[in-house]
Amino acid sequence: ETLLTQSPATLSLSPGERATLSCRASQSINTYLAWYQQKPGQAPRLLIYDTSNRATGIPARFSGSGSGTDFTLTISSLEPEDFAVYYCQQRNNWPLTFGPGTKVDIK
């Protein structure tokens, strides 16, 4: 099973600041990585797929990069609605696995 680790566990930032979230895989996953956003009491929402492609309706301030084992989600300028938990997920190796999440909260 491919383990995903995310850092930091919590990121405390102010609106307007840049957020950089990291996801590391225990083995190569090529570029088959997605990012999801989850707000309290809601289902996850797909943000980014295949490392760097934004899902339908996702604002351009969200971007992804990386390959192999190291990946990054960047939110260029945090909006109030972006404070949430972010999960990475790989589909290169069976079974599909998720990272433990990074919480982005308001400083």
Partner 1 sequence: QVQLVQSGAEVKKPGSSVKVSCKAAGGTFSTYSLGWVRQAPGQGLEWVGRITPFVGLTKYAEKFQGRVTITADKSTGTAYMELTSLRSQDTAVYYCASYDSNGYLDYWGQGILVTVSS
Residues that bind partner 1 (CB under 8 A): 1, 32, 34, 36, 43-46, 49-50, 53, 55-56, 87, 89, 91, 94-101
Min dist CB 14 to partner 1, Å, is 25
Min dist CB 38 to partner 1, Å, is 8
Q: What is the β-pairing status of strands 102-106 and 10-13?
A: parallel
Residue 43 or residue 60: which is nearer to partner 1 going by CB? 43
Spell out the residues 6+ positions from residue 101 whose beta carbon is closer than 8 angstroms to its own.
6, 9, 38, 85, 86, 87
Min dist CB 16 to partner 1, Å, is 28
Residue 38 or residue 72: which is nearer to partner 1 going by CB? 38
Residue 21 or residue 97: which is nearer to partner 1 going by CB? 97
| Cα torsion 74, 39, 101, 17: sign | positive
Residue 14 or residue 43: which is nearer to partner 1 going by CB? 43
Q: How far is CA 45 from the centre of its chain?
A: 11
Q: How far apart are CA 99 and CA 65, in angstroms?
A: 16
